[in-house]
């Protein structure tokens, strides 16, 4: 779901960078020393998830795990996702440096929203809270990518629609994986799920 360089308008790039700077500032401001291992672990998970490709018709998509980052880290998912996307950009040429802001915003905003929507339900049903966080985050991220393309120019509307359609099965898979991970963590390392 990375947007490559040279596609988006300057306005969309500036707005994305401003959102990412703000979100990263809030995330770092709330970061405590004891959070470093948790943030590092989820940064790594987000980074590695992009290497797992899911075939969808003639194309393929990859896991993101921004819902997992979001439900566990909240605002701290902004710096985690920013670092992972930066490394993906310079190591694998996924996205790029000029689109780093908008790509981070498109991935981190759904994670933060998932934190507020689904974190309160963790103690009631770990699997369902994780499932809905993973599913919702992918759907919202694909919609945000669509909007980024839409506000750049009408000639990208069909590409934006295709991104949403291609990510529907990914959202389902990601929801299931996130649900199982959250359930597993609740049984083995419950303190990761707590503030």
| Confidence (pLDDT) at 194 | 80
**Which string of DSSP letters, residue by residue, matches 53-121?**
EEEETTEEEE---HHHHHHHHGGGHHHHHHHHHHHHHHHH-SS-STTHHHHHHHHHHHHHHHHHHHGGG
Task: Note whether 70 and 137 are within 8 A (CB).
Answer: yes
What tens digit of pLDDT does each residue of 127-175 get? 999 999 999 999 999 999 999 989 988 777 888 888 888 888 889 999 9
| Confidence (pLDDT) at 1 | 66
In b/e form, how buried is each residue of 57-66, taking b as 16+ CB within 10 angstroms? Answer: eeeebbbbbb
| Confidence (pLDDT) at 167 | 85
As a CATH number, domain 10-193 is: 1.10.1760.20
Task: Please give the chain's pLDDT, 195 residues, in tens.
Answer: 678 788 888 999 999 999 999 999 999 999 999 999 999 999 999 999 877 766 655 445 788 999 999 999 999 999 999 999 999 889 887 778 899 999 999 999 999 999 999 999 998 999 999 999 999 999 999 999 999 989 988 777 888 888 888 888 889 999 999 999 999 999 999 888 887
Q: How far apart are CA 164 and CA 56, in angstroms?
A: 12
Task: Note whether 48 and 65 are within 8 A (CB).
Answer: no
State the pTM of this model: 0.91
Place of tokens 């998970």: 45
| Confidence (pLDDT) at 58 | 46
| Confidence (pLDDT) at 49 | 87
Q: How far apart are CA 180 and CA 111, in angstroms?
A: 17
- 4 Ramachandran zone, left/alpha/beta (phi>0; psi -120 to 50): beta
């Amino acid at each position: 779901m990375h947007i490559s360089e040279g596609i988006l308008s300057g306005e969309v790039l500036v707005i994305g960078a401003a959102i990412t700077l703000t979100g990263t500032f809030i995330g770092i401001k709330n970061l405590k020393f004891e959070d470093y291992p948790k943030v590092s672990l989820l940064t790594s998970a987000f980074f590695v998830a992009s290497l797992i490709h899911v075939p969808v018709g003639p194309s393929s998509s990859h896991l993101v795990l921004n819902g997992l980052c979001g439900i566990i880290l909240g605002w701290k998912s902004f710096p985690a996702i920013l670092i992972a996307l930066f490394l993906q950009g310079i190591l694998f040429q996924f996205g790029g440096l000029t689109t780093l802001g908008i790509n981070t915003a498109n991935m981190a905003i759904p994670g933060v929203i998932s934190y507020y929507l689904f974190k309160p339900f963790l103690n009631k049903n770990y699997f369902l809270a994780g499932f809905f966080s993973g599913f919702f985050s992918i759907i919202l991220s694909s919609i945000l990518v669509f909007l980024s393309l839409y506000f750049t120019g009408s000639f990208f509307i069909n590409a934006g629609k295709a991104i949403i359609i291609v990510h529907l099965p990914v959202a389902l898979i990601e929801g299931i994986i996130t649900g199982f991970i959250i359930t597993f963590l609740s049984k083995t390392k419950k303190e990761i799920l707590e503030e």
